[in-house]
Amino acid sequence: MVDPVVLSRAQFALTIIVHIVFPVLSMGLAPFLVYFTWKEIRTHEPVYEQLRRFWARVFAISFVTGTVTGIVLEFEFGTNWSEFSRAAGAVIAGPLATEGMMAFFLEAVFLGVFLFGRDRVSDRTYFASAFLTGLGSWLSATWILIVNSWMQHPRGYQLVTRNGETVITLTDPIAAYANPRFFWEFVHMQNSAVLSVALLIAGIAAYYVWTGRATAFWERSLKSALAVMVVSAPFQVIHGDAYARHIANTQPEKFAAMEAVWETARYVPEYIIAFPTTFSQILDPRAKELVGIGIPGMASWLASGGNPNAPITGLSEFANVGTPPIAVVFWSFRIMVALGFWFIVLAFWGGYRWRTGELLEDRLLHKALMASSVLGFVAVEFGWMVAEIGRQPWIIQGVMKTSEAVSPDLSGSDALLTFAGFAVGYLGLLVLVVYVLVRLIRRGPPTVRDGPDRNPGDQGVPTDD
């Protein structure tokens, strides 16, 4: 019989991996849409109308898909994780309900005005609709991350016994919801969303430049994306460093897993490149033996904020409660960090070429941007794996283990059936949405009245949204 806990974890991982792409796309596009709308209203340049209308269509597809895939996640709390919902419902129900009533409602209502109201409302109202649509997408993330930050760093609660069962009661809402972890998660997540979308826009625009079909639309898209990358890419690494230090202080076992530190030690190196000593250890979640290139004392320096001789608590200190699958966390963390530094290289490479007037001639840069167009989303996925797998075996850090949270009546065959159904449904939906987005991108921007130019691929595209 297959373990229902393992299958429930696999199902939730699958659904969140697919779902997270679309909120990231919506949140990252929101600032671009607000900017394009503001520039369209201020300058009346047709290219900004094209930019606003084209990326608004992508936003709409992302919003619908994110809503569909996100609602299912909340149902899983009842079908697969009912013990978690029963025990922690008093803490998590409020933020999740508020997310649905406030953020989703705000986003859904004003998205309608934003998509169809350009000729029906005033410029001021229309700009407000763009801003409030984006605000709704960011507020949605706010409430979700409030719940997640509490699960990572629970505060303001009390365990009580009710009818023979242990439940979590909320004793201090401010301590619980104004959790210090929330700041780190929110800033890191939102900046990564903006950076991911900037990389996507830059990669698509670079494709049109590289193929000799550059228009004012794609040139402006490329420059807008590069401007955002120059700011957001370095900030992501700087903030990520401070975030890791917060983790070292509040979740030392997760930080130890990120660095694969088994025994408490000082002057711990930071491995830049590391390999298991045998091939079999690549798949060994407890790959202890590493051979690689490390910077002496750097991990201690990062954990302490400047002391290369600072101690790092080893995983052996937590052996009594269990440790996360070390290899997954270790490699996921390195992939995320490596991509973060690559994004800085891309941003300043593109910025330099822009400054020297060679942005449209550097074909190697165009290829690099095209190859990196979806790597921002890849970095988000690996970052999420570090955050969620790194706190195992806990679903609520130090309070409730994941194995205790699964629905008691869920059998292995039931879990297998739903997992298979979700796998087919989510992967099918993902393929369909990617197909629609690719078609939309290949058609290019819509034509507009007094438009500066047309993309060769947009023949026959209607002028109405």
Token readout for 360 is 């449209």
Q: What is the pLDDT of residues 153-184, one digit of tens each?
A: 999 999 998 888 889 999 999 999 999 999 99
Q: In whole angstroms, what is the distance from residue 324 CA to residue 259 CA?
A: 12
Long-range pairs for 458-465: beta carbons < 8 A, 24 or more residues apart: 465/53, 465/56, 465/57, 465/115, 465/116, 465/118
The H or E element spanning position 275 is: strand 270-276
Q: Is residue 355 part of a domain?
A: yes
Cβ atoms of 31 and 195 within 8 Å: the answer is: no
How many structural domains is the chain composed of? 1
Q: According to the model, what pLDDT value does residue 282 have?
A: 59
b (16+ CB within 10 A) / e for 89-102: ebbbebbbebbeee
Q: Is residue 165 part of a domain?
A: yes
Q: What is the pLDDT of residues 5-56, one digit of tens each?
A: 889 999 999 999 999 999 999 999 999 999 999 999 999 999 999 999 999 9
Residue type, 424: V
Bond into 173 cis (ω within 30): no
Name the average pLDDT for the chain.
87
Q: In whole angstroms, what is the distance from residue 366 CA to residue 219 CA?
A: 12
Q: Is residue 44 part of a domain?
A: yes
Q: In whole angstroms, what is the distance from residue 316 CA to residue 458 CA?
A: 60
Q: Is residue 366 part of a domain?
A: yes
Token readout for 137 is 């997408």
Q: According to the model, what pLDDT value does residue 459 have?
A: 38
Residue labelled with tokens 């409730």: 400
Q: What is the pLDDT of residues 233-254, one digit of tens each?
A: 999 999 998 999 999 999 999 9
Q: Work out the burial of residue 459: count CB atoms within 10 Å of its CB; fewer than 13 is exposed, 13-18 middle, 19 or more buried.
A: exposed
Q: What is the pLDDT of residues 374-426, one digit of tens each?
A: 999 999 999 999 999 999 999 999 999 999 999 988 888 888 998 899 899 98
Find the angle CA(371)-CA(373)-CA(376) to the nearest 5 degrees: 115
Find the angle CA(154)-CA(160)-CA(161) to the nearest 5 degrees: 140
Q: According to the model, what pLDDT value does residue 302 have?
A: 85
Q: According to the model, what pLDDT value does residue 434 have?
A: 92
Beta bridge partners of 157: 170
Q: Is residue 428 part of a domain?
A: yes
The whole-model pTM stands at 0.89
Range of the domain at 62: 4-264+313-443
Q: According to the model, what pLDDT value does residue 283 have?
A: 54
Q: According to the model, what pLDDT value does residue 182 have?
A: 94
Neighbours of 214 (CB within 10 A): 20
Q: According to the model, what pLDDT value does residue 286 have?
A: 47
Residue type, 151: M
Q: Is residue 300 part of a domain?
A: no
Q: According to the model, what pLDDT value does residue 279 have?
A: 62
Cβ atoms of 206 and 165 within 8 Å: the answer is: no
Asked if pLDDT for residue 369 goes beyond 80, the answer is: yes
Asked if pLDDT for residue 454 goes beyond 50, the answer is: no
Share of the chain above pLDDT 90, in %: 56
For the residues of 300-339, what is the DSSP string, one character each?
Answer: HHHHHTS-TT-EE--GGGGTTT----HHHHHHHHHHHHHH
Q: In whole angstroms, what is the distance from residue 429 CA to residue 46 CA?
A: 34
For the residues of 379-424, what is the DSSP string, one character each?
Answer: HHHHHHHHHHHTTTTEEETTTEEHHHHS-TT--HHHHHHHHHHHHH
The answer for 12, left when phi > 0, alpha when psi is -120 to 50, beta otherwise, is: alpha
Share of the chain above pLDDT 70, in %: 92
Beta bridge partners of 311: 266
Mean pLDDT of 183-208: 95
Asked if pLDDT for residue 295 goes beyond 90, the answer is: no
Q: Is residue 332 part of a domain?
A: yes
Q: Is residue 465 part of a domain?
A: no
Q: CA 332 → CA 226, 258, 263, 270, 381, distances in Å?
A: 26, 8, 21, 15, 9
Going by their DSSP bridges, the two strands 394-396 and 400-401 should be labelled as antiparallel
Q: According to the model, what pLDDT value does residue 289 have?
A: 57
Asked if pLDDT for residue 220 goes beyond 80, the answer is: yes
